Amino acid sequence: MQIKSNEGALGGKLIIDLSRVLGGPYCTQILGDHGAEIVKIEPPSGDETRDWGPPFHEGDSAYFIGVNRNKRSMGLDLTRDAGRAVLLRLLEKADVLIENFKPGTMEKWGLGYQEVLKDKFPALIHCRISGFGSDGPWGGFPGYDAIIQAMAGWFSINGEAGSNPTRLGLAAVDMGTGLYSAIAVLMALAEREKSGAGQYLDMTLYDCAVSLMHPHIPNYNFSGKIPGPTGNAHPNISPYDTFRTRTVDIFIGAGNNRAWAKLCQALGRTELIDDARFVNNIDRVNNRGALKDEIEASLQQIDGHEICATLARAGLAVGPIHNTQQVVDHPHTHHRGMSVEQDWYKMTGTPIKFSRTPGAIRHLPPKYGEHSEELLREFGFEDAEITRLLAEKTLLNTRQD
């Protein structure tokens, strides 16, 4: 990932980002990393994740910093008529509007897509991210990552066998929705190249979480059995689990008979290849406990890092279990450009790698309202207008309590 000015694959696209917290900001950071101009509009109190710490850097939380690079920040009070009038002027040049207000909020403000924006800005792509959508049995209800994890079944299949329902340690619903939303925006932009028309994107945390319940929903649909937690073991493949070695725990994934034979050969346990308990994957899944005992009996005599290197060279999927510090410091993390630094900023790089238009850091995460005046000037506002908007606290460059 380059740390310099670079137009990127989305250079020239303007996105007005009204979202806050995680799903929307993660989506717009992805787009911003690849050249889109992101105008982050924050309410008077700011994006609440600025306060979600410790840790902090100069008053902003690491949580906020992690998903808000390559954006410029404007403070704007959209509850005021004058604030909404400013937004409408910005949308005259925008390609995409992204927001995650409670369904009905934009409509209440006279900014609904069907009612106003579709006709006023026919080429605009309006992406709304919400918990459950605006209709249906749960339509309009608030939704947060953990609530959706619980309702979409994620708790029920996470944890050790027999354990209580457990939340995933990542905000994977929010971030997954951010990824789906980025894909949706790109699809809509591609379709607009043909039709010239914008459209409304109805993205929900619930839909995205349900779509990610693989293979558990397919397994249930075709077996009638309700899946439960299996710990680190895979419900459909064995061996695909953590194993203890003499030094560190490692994870091994051997998804077919060929890989299973390679594993047995590398461990000097060729007799297991034709063992009736383990001949095919279905046998290994049905006898996963005995299989784990046999493999660990050999691995516990061996250094984990050495056997990982040996197995990887043999073409097997294997790796040691790392903590966060080990991930950040790992040579491959740095080799892949997944650890970037600029001045005080230290963060993960972009996983999206292009040969001609690599991602770049063009803007460090902004302070609240850092670009309020600068942006309005770029959109053609006169100094007198900007002064008036600041004086009446419609436009802001400092957070309000």
d(CA 162, CA 176): 27
Report the candidate in 354, 237, 244, 215 with the shortest Cα–Cα distance to residue 285. 237
Nearest to 365 by CA among 26, 44, 101, 43: 26
Dist. CA 301–CA 311, nearest whole Å: 15
Whether 216 sits among the annotated catalytic residues: the reply is no
> What phi and psi, each to the nearest 5 degrees, are found at residue 381?
-75, 140
Contact 188, 126 (CB under 8 A): no
Residue 12: left if φ>0, alpha if ψ -120 to 50, beta else—which one? left
Sign of CA dihedral 20, 25, 26, 27: positive
d(CA 269, CA 198): 61
Contacts of 312 (CB under 8 A, 6+ apart): 318, 319
- What counts of helices (H) and strands (E) characterise the chain? 18, 14
Which residue among 234, 322, 332, 335 is the active-site one? 234
Rounded Cα distance between 180 and 130, Å, is 13
Edge-to-edge order in the sheet of strand 37-42: 200-204, 125-130, 96-99, 14-17, 37-42, 72-76, 395-396
Q: Are 394 and 80 in contact (CB under 8 A)?
A: yes
Residue whose token pair is 């005259």: 92
Counted residue by residue, the chain has a size of 401
| Active site amino acids | 234
